[in-house]
Chain A
């Protein structure tokens, strides 16, 4: 069996060499980037907006018990139920038991990363309950038996031709690669599911404490159907999703959509606070909210990285990341990919198996710059690296290597001597045509890239020479 780190490296090599994949990815992210640039012009002061969002989430996360209890109380007052799940198993068992108790055969589900995290659909299907993903992107990856590729755009890695072939095979009633017709085919297929489902499952973008309502954001309106037609509505959310006030959404909604897709606001921003009310004539008879811990309280206990729980899952850091843009979402092998995934996963699933993700970063800080809630992402990647080293999770050779590096770097003559020897050695290797072979210490690079031209002189020598010429010129 291979480790997660080995799988990651193998897939990263494969995907970064796949130019078609990179082209699809680049087109998706460039389209997003242009939309975000337009979206930002609608803010008079984006930095003030980020600061305010940071403060809202800081207040909530640092008083998490108080706001969760307030939320629970309001949900209970309207006749809803709140279940506290310590881990994925608790959450899965509660929801499958609920479904079985009500003889649920069909479930319509809207997009939710937390349900991916706990592998909810598979658990339900093991009980012969049919689960339909109703977000178009999720529906597509579900038909392909794949996890979502991106937390906002699940099918970003597929072309319309890929999707046309998939729909032709799986749905049968469409033979076109026109996005309009493909969407219509998905709509027809899912419409039947919506009207026959006994249970709707949604995530929640926010849990509003002062109103006891969950907030769900979509463009398609699929969650609105899911919370309207079936007789039971179950919402699953991480405990960190709570926010203090309904009013906070006046900023969080536009921030989420601007950072997520570039839209000023998404099409449907829906708030649900309970089952059908006493004066209402439609809607579910039961409303359940499953609050999930699953490692979040451990992250909460780390004040240095606690702000990673501020994340609103907009996906901006994925799109900004040069590593994500090269290797794509599936390579990470985790529910949450990109910079935020590399920060969170070692906390949620163990630093032993997932510390390698924190090294898949150039530390350029683009993720931190775009984060709408100001999570210090690239520093957290450094914190994770430090923690992995402190926990003896890194290979001994890495420690030896860095020891050697420190020894070389701490003396200018030593460094210069090694530089001269290295340049000579590499010139010989490259000139003998040995680039990329076992003798080439730079083979990981030269396997995929042309060998760089090795300069004759060191940077220090060039600098010294230029300086001497410059002062000679000035002294004339």
Chain B
């Protein structure tokens, strides 16, 4: 589809410009200073936040140990395909992670409806909220939400203290330019729409797992 017809565009823009000829006052304020508490130990904070937001953070000593931990989870799941981000690292680890299970790779398209788990990498980990930043490179759209379990293979060098530094890192990696989607995930899917009672696993995964190790390669 070529460019769309936009008869309202100029009308709206001209109304905006006319409206803005009259200036609005701004609340001037001397209130300033740091908004958030400083993060002294990002790794410790990340783990603590994960335990309160229902992320299973598995801190391991090495990539091999992380792989083994993931393999154990996968082997406990009911039958069904496992969806993986198509990356050289996960291709290499797949035999260890999956055993004899069927892999569906992200280069094949969307995860299948009956997927049992998704395994991806991430763009950054945010200590202050215990969150994981993923992009469409991490398995594509739907990777984080179709399967009942999302497992992220992550490394301690991806950890940043706060959201400000997370965005700085994304910009540095040119992630927003390279990807049509980004998502900051904090814990697993939930709702409190019935009497404000928290229920896990609304539409997305019931379990969100981060296997975290130093990058030992």
Given known contacts A220-B189, A275-B180, A51 and B202 CB-to-CB distance under 8 angstroms? no
Are A225's CB and B36's CB within 8 A?
Answer: no
Instruction: Given A81-B4, A273-B180, decide whether A281 and B108 contact each other with a Cβ distance below 8 A.
Output: yes
Could you give, for residues 88-109 of chain B, a 1 whenever the CB lies within 8 Å of some chain A CB and a 0 otherwise?
0000000000000000001111
Residue-wise, chain B 133-145 has the 8 Å CB interface mask toward A (1 for contact) of 0001000111111
Given A281-B107, A306-B24, decide whether A179 and B194 contact each other with a Cβ distance below 8 A: yes
Chain A residues 244 to 280 lying within 8 A of chain B, measured CB to CB, are: 246-247, 249-251, 253-254, 261, 264-277, 279-280
A135 at the interface (CB under 8 A from B): yes
Which residue in B18, B145, B186, B203 is a CB contact (below 8 Å) of A190?
Answer: B203
Closest to B54 in A: A267
**Complex CA–CA separation, A52 to B18 (angstroms):** 27
Contact of B190 among A61, A220, A279 (CB under 8 A): A220
Q: Specify which chain A residues have a CB less than 8 angstroms from the CB of B18 in the assembled complex.
A: 301
A282 touches B29 (CB 8 A): no
> Looking at the complex, which one of B13, B166, B176 makes contact with A271 (CB distance below 8 Å)?
B176
A450 and B93 CA atoms in complex are apart in Å by 75
Contacts A28-B195, A65-B13; is A281 near B23 (CB within 8 Å)? no
Q: How far is the CA of A81 from the CA of B37 in the complex (A)?
A: 41
* Residue from B4, B12, B113, B163 within 8 A of A250 (CB atoms): B163
Q: How many residues of B contact A (CB 8 A)?
A: 83
B158-217 residues with Cβ-Cβ distance < 8 A to A are 162-164, 166-168, 170-171, 176, 178-197, 199, 201-205
Contact indicator A54/B27 (Cβ below 8 Å): yes
Contacts of A272 in B (CB 8 A): 180-181
**Residue of B with least CB distance to A304:** B24
Q: Which residue of A has the minimal Cβ distance to B177?
A: A211
A342 located at the interface, meaning its Cβ lies under 8 Å from any Cβ of chain B in the complex: no
> A250-B162, A277-B136 are known contacts. Are A265 and B35 too (CB-CB below 8 A)?
no
B129 close to A (CB within 8 Å): yes
- Nearest to A271 among chain B residues (CB) is B182
With an 8 A cutoff between CB atoms, is A303 at the interface?
Answer: yes
| Chain-B contact segment, one of A39-47, A321-329, A388-396, A407-415 | A39-47
Contact between A86 and B184, CB atoms less than 8 A apart? no
Q: Is B6 in the interface zone, CB < 8 Å from A? A: yes
- B24 near A303 with CB under 8 A, answer yes
> How far, in whole Å, are A244 and B37 apart by their CA atoms in the complex?
25
Stretch at the interface among A151-159, A416-424, A433-441, A459-467: A151-159
Let me know if A154 and B171 touch, CB within 8 A. Answer: no
The minimal Cβ–Cβ distance linking B133 to chain A, given in whole angstroms, is: 9
Task: Select A270's contact among B15, B181, B195, beta carbons within 8 Å.
Answer: B181
Interface centre among B4, B25, B108, B199 (most CB of A within 10 A): B199
Known: A246-B171, A267-B189. A239 touches B12 (CB 8 A): yes
Name the A residues within 8 Å of B16 (CB-CB): 64-65, 68, 239, 297, 300
A229 to B143 CA separation, bound complex (whole angstroms): 10
B24 touches which of A249, A276, A281, A307 (Cβ 8 Å): A307
Q: Are B176 and A253 in contact (CB under 8 A)?
A: no
Which residues of chain A have C-beta atoms less than 8 A from B185's C-beta? 267-268
Contact call B140/A301, Cβ cutoff below 8 A: no
List residues 138-168 of chain A with CB under 8 A from any CB of chain B.
140, 153-156, 158-160, 163
Chain A: CB-nearest residue to B194: A179
A179 close to B199 (CB less than 8 A)? yes
Interface string of B1-44 (1 = CB under 8 A from A): 10110101101110111111011111101011111110000000
Contact B145 A228 (CB under 8 A): yes
- A198 interfacial contact with B, CB 8 Å: no
Residue on B nearest A303 in the bound complex, by CB: B24
- Contact between chains at B193 and A136 (CB < 8 Å): yes
B107 to chain A, nearest CB (A): 5
Q: Is B116 interfacial (CB-CB < 8 Å)? A: no
A227 to B178, CA, bound (A): 18
13 contacts between A and B (CB under 8 A): A31-B196, A42-B37, A44-B33, A51-B29, A179-B197, A213-B176, A220-B190, A264-B49, A264-B186, A271-B176, A273-B176, A277-B179, A283-B180
For the complex of A and B, the 8 pairs showing the least CB-CB separation, nearest first, are A221-B204, A228-B142, A228-B141, A220-B202, A301-B19, A137-B193, A250-B163, A283-B141
| Seed contacts A76-B3, A182-B194, A303-B24; 12 additional CB < 8 Å A-B pairs | A43-B36, A48-B33, A153-B193, A183-B199, A183-B201, A221-B205, A249-B167, A251-B35, A269-B184, A280-B180, A283-B136, A300-B15
